[in-house]
């Protein structure tokens, strides 16, 4: 069982780390001082670029910063194309649609994820199938994937079909939990054999690399998020990345109301979406991208401080999985059991430190209760034990 004393020691450590030095000792003890899990940091050209955008009057989804942001994503991810969207959920939805997912289909993903992964599948009318994760990466397990496919799926000329439901399995969406890279090369390899397109949910993994390659460069398509809680933010925003020019053009067209370009005619050739990122947000995104490396470096330093401190308390910091060059987005501890987890959450939050459990598994939620799933041994193990701790950069 976890010692209350080690929780208290960790609480003082986090307070020392995060409460600014200019606050007097007396104030530090006030109940009002709450240390968040992950704060956005604006310390670069954010205001300058925002003012430029306002002065230009190009505040909506056409503008110089949108183009610039897309070009910068292309270089960072080392990919052919990037399309800036309103948020990560919309990006996932469009990825799935362009991968060919239809309302009669099924999509493989993990149950241990943020709700947006599953919802984006449902938006298309498709059904998620939840597979287990690996304990070390907390991302989709290639072993679980292969086992499910071998036991339940029939490979035909035009793709894979679920033997139980007769439905086509038209995509697989692994997610890089907290910026840890899942075993993406193995997943791509398996899915290729089974003719299933892979879409990376890279919402949490901007700045993470796997065997030297950026997250968001492995799948047919990938989705990023720039929401306020992510490693960098533009208020709300997302991006799709792909090496396929044809798909990239479709992504841009479909998210720009499917308007056929013309000087004055309004002609739309399908039901499109108004999903493009506004230039105001892109201005913020460009300024934030410039600071990504500094933010990562600071977070690495914080992780290392946690590492040396936690070694002496008996609380286990979650290790970086092999092959991940991590962005250090959200750090976490692994408690011994659910009882310890609940006590840890209770005590830390009571003492002004924001900590949060990992997500409730998708099939425990009413909308996804009836979804097909495998054993979930690792997902359930992690669900009972993982807690995120404050991880903001100090810049």
Residue with tokens 């013309």: 262
Q: Helix or strand or coil: residue 7?
A: helix
Binding track, positions 107-136, relative to ligand PLP; x by CB under 6 A: ------xx-xx-------------------
User: Does residue 255 belong to the site contacting ligand PLP (CB under 6 A)?
Assistant: no
Q: Is 248 left (phi over 0), alpha (psi -120 to 50) or beta?
A: alpha
Between 49 and 114, CB nearer to ligand PLP: 114
For residue 373, list its beta bridge partners: 130
Q: Which of 217, 227, 256, 324 binds ligand PLP (CB under 6 A)?
A: 227
Pairwise CA distance, residues 281 & 64, whole Å: 12
By beta-carbon proximity to ligand PLP, the closer residue of 106 and 201 is 201
- Residues 6 or more apart whose Cβ sits within 8 Å of residue 366: none
Nearer to ligand PLP, 61 or 227 (CB): 227
| Minimal CB distance residue for ligand PLP | 88
116 vs 188, beta carbon nearer ligand PLP? 116
Nearest to 276 by CA among 70, 123, 84, 54: 84
User: Considering the rule CB under 6 A, would residue 201 count as an interface residue with ligand PLP?
Assistant: yes
Kindly tell me which residue out of 179, 238, 321, 357 binds ligand PLP, with binding defined by CB under 6 A: 238
Inter-residue contact 391 to 183 (CB < 8 Å): no
State the Cα torsion 88-132-319-212 to the nearest 10°. Answer: -60
The interface region with ligand PLP, picked from 166-174, 196-204, 250-258, 269-277 by CB under 6 A, is 196-204
The least distance separating ligand PLP from the CB of residue 139, rounded to whole angstroms, comes to 10
Question: Can you tell me which of 46, 134, 204, 374 binds ligand PLP, judged by CB under 6 A?
Answer: 204
Q: State whether residue 248 is helix, strand or coil.
A: helix
- The least CB distance from residue 87 to ligand PLP, in Å, is 4
Q: Whole-number minimum distance, CB 229 to ligand PLP, in Å?
A: 7
Question: Per DSSP, which regions of 208-308 are E strands?
Answer: 209-210, 213-214, 221-225, 238-242
The nearer residue to ligand PLP, 105 or 204, going by C-beta atoms, is 204
Residue of 162, 170, 225, 241 interacting with ligand PLP (CB under 6 A): 225
Binding to ligand PLP in span 72-91, by CB under 6 A: 87-89
Q: b/e per residue, 65-96, with b = 16+ CB within 10 A?
A: bbebbbebbeebbebebbbbbbbbbbbbbbbb
Query: What character string, x for contact with ligand PLP (CB under 6 A) and - otherwise, covers 29-68?
Result: ----------------------------------------
Q: Is 250 in the site for ligand PLP (CB under 6 A)?
A: no
* Cβ closest to ligand PLP, residue 170 vs residue 225: 225
> Least distance (Å) from ligand PLP to the CB of residue 355?
17
Least distance from ligand PLP to the Cβ atom of residue 38, Å: 11
The conformation of residue 368, written as its DSSP 8-state character, comes to: G
Site residues for ligand PLP, 318-377, by CB under 6 A, read none
Minimum distance, C-beta of residue 373 to ligand PLP, in the bound complex (Å): 18
Count of alpha carbons within 13 angstroms of residue 191, beta-carbon side: 26
Q: Which residue has the tokens 């306020």?
A: 228
CA neighbor of 277 nearest in space, from 87, 52, 17, 21: 87
149-188 residues near ligand PLP, rule: CB under 6 A = 175
Which residues does 150 contact at the CB level (< 8 Å), separation at least 6? none
Smallest distance, ligand PLP to C-beta of residue 341, A: 20
Instruction: Compute the least distance from the CB of residue 45 to ligand PLP, in Å.
Output: 22
Beta carbon of residue 117, minimum distance to ligand PLP (angstroms, whole number): 5
How many residues belong to the site for ligand PLP (CB under 6 A)? 14
Exposure string for 289-318, b = 16+ CB within 10 A, e = fewer: bebbeebbebbeebbeebeebbeebebebb
Q: What SS3 state is found at 186?
A: helix
Residue whose CB is less far from ligand PLP, 227 or 241: 227
Which residues bind to ligand PLP, rule: CB under 6 A? 87-89, 113-114, 116-117, 175, 201, 203-204, 225, 227, 238
């Amino acid at each position: 069982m976890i010692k209350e004393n080690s929780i208290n020691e960790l609480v003082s450590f986090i307070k020392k780390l995060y409460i600014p030095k200019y606050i007097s000792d007396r104030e530090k003890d006030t109940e009002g001082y709450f240390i968040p899990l992950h704060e956005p940091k604006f310390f670069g050209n954010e205001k300058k670029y925002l003012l430029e955008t306002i002065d230009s009057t190009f505040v909506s989804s056409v503008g110089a910063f949108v183009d610039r942001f897309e070009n910068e994503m292309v270089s960072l991810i080392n990919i052919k194309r990037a399309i800036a969207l309103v948020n990560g959920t919309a990006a996932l939805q469009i990825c799935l649609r362009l991968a060919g997912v239809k309302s009669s289909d099924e999509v493989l993903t993990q149950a241990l994820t943020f709700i947006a992964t599953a919802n984006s599948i449902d938006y298309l009318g498709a059904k998620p199938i939840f597979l287990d994760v690996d304990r070390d990466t907390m991302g989709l397990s290639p072993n679980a994937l292969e086992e499910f496919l071998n036991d339940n799926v029939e490979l035909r000329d035009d793709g894979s079909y679920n033997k139980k439901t007769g439905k086509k399995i038209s995509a697989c969406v692994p997610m890089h939990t907290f910026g840890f890279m899942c075993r993406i090369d193995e997943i791509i390899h398996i899915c290729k054999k089974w003719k299933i397109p892979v879409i990376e949910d890279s919402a949490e993994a901007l700045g993470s690399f796997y065997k030297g390659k950026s997250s968001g460069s492995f799948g047919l398509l990938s989705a990023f998020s720039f929401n306020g809680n992510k490693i960098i933010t533009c208020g709300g925003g997302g991006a799709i990345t792909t090496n396929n020019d044809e798909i990239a053009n479709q992504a841009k067209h479909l998210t720009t109301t499917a308007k056929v370009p013309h000087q004055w005619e309004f002609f739309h050739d399908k039901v499109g979406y108004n999903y493009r990122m506004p230039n105001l947000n892109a201005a913020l995104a460009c300024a934030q991208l410039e600071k990504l490396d500094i933010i990562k470096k600071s977070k690495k330093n914080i992780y290392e401080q946690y590492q040396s401190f936690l070694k002496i308390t008996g609380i286990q910091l979650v290790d970086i999985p092999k092959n991940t060059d991590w962005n250090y987005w959200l750090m976490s501890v692994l408690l011994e059991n659910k009882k310890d987890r609940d006590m840890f959450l209770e005590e830390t939050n009571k003492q002004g430190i924001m900590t949060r459990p990992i997500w409730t598994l998708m099939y425990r939620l009413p909308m996804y209760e009836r979804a097909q799933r495998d054993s979930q041994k690792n997902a359930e193990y992690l669900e009972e034990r993982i807690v995120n701790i404050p991880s903001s950069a100090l810049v």
